[in-house]
Structure 1
Amino acid sequence: MSIVDAGLLDAGGVQLALDGPLATITLHRPEVLNAQTPATWAALRGIGEALSPEVRVVVVRGSGRAFSAGLDRSLFTAGDGEGGPGLMSIATMSAERADAVIAEFQQAFSWLRDPARVTVAGVQGHAIGAGFQLALACDLRIAATDAKFAMAETGLGLVPDLGGTLPLVRCVGYARAVEICLTGRRVGAEEAERIGLVNSVTPVDELDDAVDNLVRALLNPQPNATRETLALLHSAADNPVPEQQLAAERAAQIRRLAELSALLHNA
């Protein structure tokens, strides 16, 4: 794989650990509850661009007692914030430039939804705003019992703009997504599991083990079978035409059978 620049990771407060087919990304700014800056997003985007196809599972974690408490407070001041342009700085840009800047921020999260690999968020403590959207960017979420999710943007006069709206609606439905976003209330781990926001809840001191067990299970299937299945599930979530989804399943299965047949003949 390409090497992610260490300076980029350090500036963003992000750590990357590689272990064969597993990559673990850790937000490492525990003194500010892993609050995010544009430098954080640059580091995440750099990781997404550098990971090799051999990486099949990506785990996203936060160090300390929180997953991520959202945007760093410096971004709300006039001018540039820590690690990049602040919100009011973006407001002074042309519409085209502002659109391009926010699109770059979104790329830090969007690659986590690529069917090339399975992504897992291990969430403890606060997952607020940008932290909530980072968890939503992952395919699967395991929450510790102390996890608290909230979409705080509307209370600040903003909107969720890091790709969180679509996966939230997919997880909990339109009406509940409206209520969560517009009230900004905190959703605890038990409720999050009940409404489909997380896959499972575990005691805080067992979160690492629960994530490790899930990773082992995810690495069992053949890599291309996993990728094809993920792609089908992604398209099923957006495809209102059953015939098109059936055709996509047929095409994927034909590719799988061709690969398996080639493996048998070469054995």
Structure 2
Amino acid sequence: MEYQNLLLRAADKVLTITINRPNKLNALNKETLAELNQAFTAAFADAGTRAVIITGAGPKAFVAGADISEFASFSVEEGRELAREGHTRVFDLIENGPKPVLAAINGYALGGGLELAMACHLRIAADNARLGLPEVSLGLIPGYGGTQRLTQLAGKGKALEMVLTGDMISAEEAYRTGLVNKVVPAAELQDAAKTLIGRILTRSSNSAAAAIRAINAACKDGVNGFETEIAEFGNCFGTADFKEGVSAFLEKREPKF
């Protein structure tokens, strides 16, 4: 389909999604969120796509928050529905997707933008990136999973500091706290993202999906992550990838997944 706020480019089994609203610092409005739902739903269903990279257009921002004008007059229930719909249709969709999703963070990742990056499985930041959850300055708190995912990634103390102050942190500080996997010079960001994804693509796609499900289970209430791991481990034995991987190991060659 044709997107108004996204640019899509597929190459070498990787779909790159670029949020293309640079004049608005790629802020997430309702239309962009709807397009993200459509793009990720299609990517996860496409057999020719094995991984996704998401980034922002222009040098200034990955995503500098949500479009505040859209919810300035919302009621309590409208606010709850905004968050609930965002969780279901975009942020949880990405986190629970069966294919690796990497956020290439160029510039500002604030509010909903940082929440979008945290919903991805991996994050690489340009060295000039700035990350934060400034919702308290609007009399709000993060509503797209920010309080939960930041706590999981950076720990309770850092999450409380960032959310309660609303202050931004540097890419290097984000790396030290575990919020991002790697920091690279801005000019090398896209190449670094493709290199990491390329490394993952040499491995089994079935194993990647199983690993995502098992690791996500560690953070879900009422789910025994160990039991999820046991089940996913067992399921791997019934896949063609397992047979190829073991054969390649025994034959001392690289596997062809």
Shared fold by TM > 0.5? yes
- The reply on whether 1:59 has 2:53 as its aligned counterpart is yes
Distance 1:35 1:203 in 2: 23
* Counterpart selection for 2:74 from 90, 105, 122: 90
The aligned counterpart of 1:70 is 65
- The reply on whether 1:41 has 2:33 as its aligned counterpart is yes
SS of 1:90's equivalent?
coil
* Counterpart selection for 2:84 from 91, 94, 103: 103
Distance 1:261 1:165 in 2: 37
* Residues 239, 257 of structure 1: alpha-carbon distance in 2 compared, 3 angstrom cutoff: farther
CA deviation map 1:223-255 (0-9, x unaligned): 1111111111111234698xx433332222221
The aligned counterpart of 2:195 is 213
SS of 1:49's equivalent?
helix
* Counterpart selection for 2:106 from 120, 124, 131: 124
SS of 1:196's equivalent?
coil
* Residues 235, 262 of structure 1: alpha-carbon distance in 2 compared, 3 angstrom cutoff: closer
Distance 1:162 1:204 in 2: 27
Distance 1:256 1:177 in 2: 36
How far 1:261 sits from its partner (Å)? Answer: 8.9
Distance 1:262 1:68 in 2: 39
How far 1:56 sits from its partner (Å)? Answer: 2.2
SS of 1:23's equivalent?
strand
* Residues 260, 182 of structure 1: alpha-carbon distance in 2 compared, 3 angstrom cutoff: same
CA deviation map 1:148-207 (0-9, x unaligned): 001011111011111222211111111110110110111101111111010010001111
How far 1:260 sits from its partner (Å)? Answer: 4.1
CA contact (8 A) 2:86 2:144 kept: yes
CA contact (8 A) 2:124 2:184 kept: yes
* Residues 38, 187 of structure 1: alpha-carbon distance in 2 compared, 3 angstrom cutoff: same
- The reply on whether 1:235 has 2:217 as its aligned counterpart is yes
The aligned counterpart of 2:227 is 247
SS of 2:16's equivalent?
strand
SS of 1:16's equivalent?
strand
SS of 1:211's equivalent?
helix
How far 1:115 sits from its partner (Å)? Answer: 4.1
* Residues 185, 261 of structure 1: alpha-carbon distance in 2 compared, 3 angstrom cutoff: closer
CA contact (8 A) 1:44 1:109 kept: no
The amino acid of 1:201's aligned partner reads V
* Residues 101, 248 of structure 1: alpha-carbon distance in 2 compared, 3 angstrom cutoff: closer
- The reply on whether 1:159 has 2:153 as its aligned counterpart is no
Superposition TM-score, scaled by structure 2 size: 0.86
CA contact (8 A) 1:239 1:245 kept: no
- The reply on whether 1:258 has 2:253 as its aligned counterpart is no
Which stretches in structure 1 are left out of the alignment for 5+ residues?
77-85
Aligned residues: 241
Distance 1:155 1:21 in 2: 41
Is the deviation greater in 50-59 or in 185-194?
50-59
* Counterpart selection for 1:26 from 14, 18, 34: 18
CA contact (8 A) 1:117 1:227 kept: yes
Distance 1:115 1:37 in 2: 22
